[in-house]
Amino acid sequence: MGALTPEQLNFLSTHEACRLATASKDAVPRVVPLIYALDGEDVVMVTDYGTKKLRNLKENKRVALVVDDYRPNSAVMIEGECDILERGKEYLRLL
């Protein structure tokens, strides 16, 4: 994901909702609100099977997310690739 500053990590740790942008293999965008958790500098989210966002993520791992406040106006935006965990030790640890 890249290095986040201590200020960005603090901001993310004091919030719980983000907007996640995904795109299909044909680059059709979709933005959805999600609850997230932090695992170090990694943002962890859960979704159900059968959702459009999961289909998008399996077709195209590029994502962007934003966590923001309206007043005072502040935000953290992260762009990168996601990992999908469906089983294994890391999946169980995060679960």
> What is the predicted pLDDT for the residue at 31?
97
In the chain, where are the structural domains located?
6-84
Look up residue 48 and give its two tokens.
């159900």
Does the domain formed by 6-84 have CATH 3.40.50.1100? no
pLDDT tens by residue, the chain, 95 residues? 458 999 999 999 999 999 999 999 999 999 999 999 999 999 999 999 999 999 999 999 999 999 999 999 999 999 999 999 988 888 888 87
Alpha helices (runs of H) in 1-95, residue ranges in sequence order = 6-13, 52-59, 89-94
Q: Model's pTM, two decimal places? A: 0.87
> What is the predicted pLDDT for the residue at 2?
57
User: Which single residue is written with the structure tokens 């997310």?
Assistant: 65
